[in-house]
């Protein structure tokens, strides 16, 4: 079985995204949000069948851990109420996708974060999504300010309410920023990769996993710059008086394979233990075109894993074993289906 740990609903029906525009206009004008529109099952099917589901089948994967569109979370827009309304709408739509295509998609939720706001509402929404909607994890934005980085590091006690709820529910988080309001940071080319790298360094500097030894965090996009500069981070941990990375963070931190060329995947698999790598494509996502050097889509990451110099046992871990271990509620759901 091949499980893609990183998929977003980037093809949601237009009525959904149009409502978001109207919601933000109403907020700016001091009016209540408009009623959420009726979206039919047929609209959802059409948005999925010709996009994510078709590509999933064509590329040889079986299931996607599916979440709302990351760049549209935009926690810096509106306020905490607006974020709560938007998160619930997005999460309910993901639940409908998973209900219509249960063999191909399982949900991960967006949190109603807002700059400076406490995380109690996020913990409550996570619990709702896990216990009522059958979701298996969440996306946690380390920078809800949208490129201004006003939040404390991920190791700060500010974040503990969400970590406590994650631990209670036994679910992981993908550490994933959203869009950038800072023109210096292109969203997917700079802000995303900056955030992945920043999150990892924050984890090195702190001692988060001493307080939460069972917490699991997935850093996407191949871990940002981390694998490429692995010696730097090993050296910094040593300079900071921290234990080796294998003990200090890598029992709790995992990277995906959203790296869009063969040399990048080869390096990831050489530097990072296969126990810490989950298959992911981010499809349909940041890079949607065809690579002129290969003739294949950049985000067809299965090709790179198939071509990597890996033992079959390691490849099996990357394709499904690690995802089932990191997302135990996913494993339980699959075992209940005899998979």
Distance spanning both ends of the chain, measured CA to CA:
8
Number of other residues whose CB lies within 10 A of the CB of residue 108: 32
Pair 232, 243: CB distance under 8 Å: no
Pair 255, 226: CB distance under 8 Å: yes
Specify the DSSP element, H or E, that contains 129: helix 120-131
Kindly give, in sequence order, each residue whose CB lies less than 8 Å from that of residue 276, ignoring residues fewer than 6 positions away. 250, 253, 254, 255, 322
Q: Which residue has the tokens 């994933």?
A: 176
Number of other residues whose CB lies within 10 A of the CB of residue 195: 25
| Active-site entry in 77, 85, 125, 282 | 282
Note if 164 is an active site residue.
Answer: no
CA 87-89-94 angle, to 5 degrees, is 90
Rg (the chain; Cα; Å): 19
State the angle between helix axes of 120-131 and 160-169 in degrees (0 to 180), rounded to the nearest 10.
20
Kindly give, in sequence order, each residue whose CB lies less than 8 Å from that of residue 55, ignoring residues fewer than 6 positions away. 283, 284
Enumerate the active-site residues: 282
């Amino acid at each position: 079985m091949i499980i893609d740990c990183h998929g977003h609903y980037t093809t949601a029906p237009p009525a959904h995204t149009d409502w978001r525009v109207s919601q933000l206009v109403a907020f700016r004008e001091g009016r209540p949000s408009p009623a959420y529109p009726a979206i039919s099952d047929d609209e959802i099917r059409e948005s999925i069948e010709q996009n994510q589901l078709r590509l999933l089948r064509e590329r040889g994967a079986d299931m996607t851990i599916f979440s709302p569109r990351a760049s549209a979370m935009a926690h810096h827009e509106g306020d905490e109420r607006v974020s709560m309304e938007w998160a619930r709408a997005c999460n309910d739509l993901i639940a409908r996708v998973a209900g219509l295509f249960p063999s191909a998609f399982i949900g991960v939720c967006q949190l109603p974060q807002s700059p400076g706001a406490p995380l109690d509402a996020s913990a409550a929404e996570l619990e709702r999504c896990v216990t009522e909607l059958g979701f298996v994890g969440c996306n946690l934005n380390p920078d809800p300010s949208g490129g201004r980085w006003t939040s404390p590091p991920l190791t700060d006690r500010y974040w503990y309410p969400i970590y406590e709820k994650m631990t209670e529910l036994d679910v992981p988080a993908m550490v994933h920023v959203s869009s950038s309001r800072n023109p210096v940071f292109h969203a997917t080319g700079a802000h995303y990769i900056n955030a992945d790298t920043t999150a990892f360094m924050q984890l090195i500097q702190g001692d988060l996993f001493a307080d939460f030894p069972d917490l699991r965090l997935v850093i996407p996009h191949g871990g940002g710059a981390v694998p490429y500069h692995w010696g730097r981070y090993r050296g910094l941990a040593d300079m900071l008086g921290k234990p080796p990375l294998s003990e200090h963070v890598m029992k709790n931190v995992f990277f995906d394979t959203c790296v869009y060329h063969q040399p990048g995947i080869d390096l990831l698999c050489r530097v990072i233990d296969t126990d810490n790598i989950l298959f992911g494509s981010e499809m349909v996502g940041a890079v949607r075109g065809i690579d002129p050097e290969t003739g294949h889509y950049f985000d067809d990451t299965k090709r790179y894993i198939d071509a990597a110099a890996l033992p079959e046992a390691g490849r099996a871990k990357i394709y499904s074993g690690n995802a089932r271990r990191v997302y135990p509620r996913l494993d339980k759901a699959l075992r209940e289906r005899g998979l």
